[in-house]
């Protein structure tokens, strides 16, 4: 495999915290982009100290900041703003997820950056985006899971709503931002050499993300007027397609099309189910159908059902916990769990990139950085001369000192 990624000629500067922005940067970095993370001197990304892990580099931070370099800049100092804009002048992409209007106050808003780099792609990730009546509200993942509706359909059927077990608004916004960065890169290349104005900015909100991920729920409601509640482990429109309890665990399976129903009944062994030949009939008689299937599944162990269903070509899988996933042969084979020797945390598992390239391995090229670890080397690369670097340092651009932690 080649060692250079498809984005190896891309320079990304990010000024991000927590998860949504850092996840976008990590995805780009995994694909070979050179990603420099700007952090506040002495403070850094708050995620550094949230959750287990060594001081200043928690597992939460490590997972979302792999393959990056960290610099510290005090943007409230003139020298800090000057150094930031010099860094951004040579960047292809700037990713930020600070509150509404913060980057403008710090002197690195889109118009500020565009003055020194008219072709910059400016990715702005916010709780509610940059338009609409809620644009100035603070928005965190859990809040947006509730307000965006996905919490209302998550949880045990007939029970109380619960959050999705992962920060789906944060991670989804990071993925959508990555997609938009690539779209803007394509647009920039397409417009190169033309008289068309290139506007590289875009914004995405966590609220936007969650509402988008509601997907067909929105359409169903417009058609029926119905407001669904928590769905448990079943599907909103297919029967059967859900989690079933076995004699020693759980299995998830489903019937993807009506023409496979007879085959499924053969596997389950309940002849009375054969009359429910269409999904519409099964939805209408869901309690009867599901109860009969569950009664059979509870008689035999998980391995039996996985083998029987797989043999007949039905999609199926066990209910795995985190430990199972980390040790999963398929996850290892696809590079989805990367065991990495971190200089501060020792041997740890990091999430790999979810897209497989046959000619490129999205490896962990460098561990998540210590706060300000690369300040000297990054700014030495862009300073016109040593005097400029010394002036920035003397002006407090990097905090108390270069690489100040």
384 is catalytic: no
Contact 72, 372 (CB under 8 A): yes
| Interatomic CA distance for residues 201 and 195, integer angstroms | 18
Contact 314, 267 (CB under 8 A): yes
Residues β-bridged to residue 360: 2, 357
**Residues 145, 38, 362, CA angle at the centre, nearest 5°?**
70
Choosing from 30, 45, 141, 170, which is the catalytic residue? 170
Quote the tokens at residue 5: 């990624």
Cis status of the peptide bond prior to 240, with omega within 30 of 0: yes
Quote the tokens at residue 59: 């597992």
| Interatomic CA distance for residues 151 and 167, integer angstroms | 12
| Interatomic CA distance for residues 77 and 233, integer angstroms | 53
Contact 306, 267 (CB under 8 A): no
Task: Output Rg (C-alpha) for the chain, integer angstroms.
Answer: 25
Q: Which residues in 78-116 are b (16+ Cβ under 10 Å) and which e?
A: ebbbbbbbbbbeebbbbbbbbebeebeebbbbbebbbee
Interstrand relation of 250-254 and 34-39 (parallel, antiparallel or unpaired)? unpaired
**Residues 186, 180, 127, CA angle at the centre, nearest 5°?**
160
Question: Given strand 250-254, what is the order of strands in its sheet?
Answer: 241-245, 250-254, 316-318
DSSP letter (8 states) at residue 237: S
Which residues have a catalytic role annotated?
Answer: 170
């Amino acid at each position: 495999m080649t060692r250079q990624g498809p984005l190896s000629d891309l320079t990304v500067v990010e000024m991000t915290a927590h998860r949504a922005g850092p996840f976008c940067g990590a995805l780009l970095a995994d694909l070979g982009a050179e990603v420099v993370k700007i952090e506040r001197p002495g403070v850094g990304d708050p995620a550094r100290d949230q959750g287990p892990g060594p001081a200043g580099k928690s597992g939460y931070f490590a997972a979302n900041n792999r393959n990056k370099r960290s610099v510290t800049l005090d943007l409230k100092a003139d020298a800090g703003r000057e150094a930031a804009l010099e860094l951004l002048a040579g960047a292809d992409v700037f990713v930020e997820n600070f509150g509404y209007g913060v980057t403008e106050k710090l002197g690195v808003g889109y118009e500020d950056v565009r003055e020194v780099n008219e072709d910059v792609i400016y990715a702005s990730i916010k709780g509610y985006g940059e338009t609409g009546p809620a644009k100035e509200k603070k928005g965190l993942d859990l809040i947006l899971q509730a307000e965006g509706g996905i919490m209302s359909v998550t949880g045990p059927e007939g029970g109380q709503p619960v959050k999705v077990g992962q920060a789906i608004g944060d991670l989804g916004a990071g993925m959508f931002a990555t997609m938009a960065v690539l779209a803007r890169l394509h647009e920039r290349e397409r417009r190169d050499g033309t008289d068309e104005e290139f506007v590289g900015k875009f914004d995405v909100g966590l609220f936007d993300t969650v509402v988008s991920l509601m997907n067909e729920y929105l359409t169903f409601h417009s058609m029926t007027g119905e407001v669904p509640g928590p769905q448990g482990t079943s599907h909103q429109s297919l029967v059967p397609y859900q989690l079933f309890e076995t004699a020693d665990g759980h299995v998830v399976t489903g019937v993807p099309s009506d023409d496979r129903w007879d085959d499924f009944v053969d596997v389950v062994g309940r002849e009375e189910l054969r009359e429910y030949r269409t999904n519409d009939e099964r939805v209408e008689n869901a309690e009867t159908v599901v109860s009969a299937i569950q009664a059979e599944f509870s008689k035999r162990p998980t391995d039996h059902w996985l083998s029987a269903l797989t043999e007949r070509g039905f999609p199926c899988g066990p209910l795995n916990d985190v430990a199972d996933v980390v040790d999963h042969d398929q996850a290892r084979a696809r590079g989805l769990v990367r065991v990495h020797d971190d200089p501060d945390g020792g041997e740890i598992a990091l999430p790999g990139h979810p897209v497989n390239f046959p000619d490129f391995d999205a490896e962990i090229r460098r561990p998540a950085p210590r706060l300000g670890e690369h300040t000297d080397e990054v700014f030495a690369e862009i300073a016109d001369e040593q005097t400029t670097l010394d002036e920035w340092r003397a002006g407090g651009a990097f905090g108390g000192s270069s690489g100040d932690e």
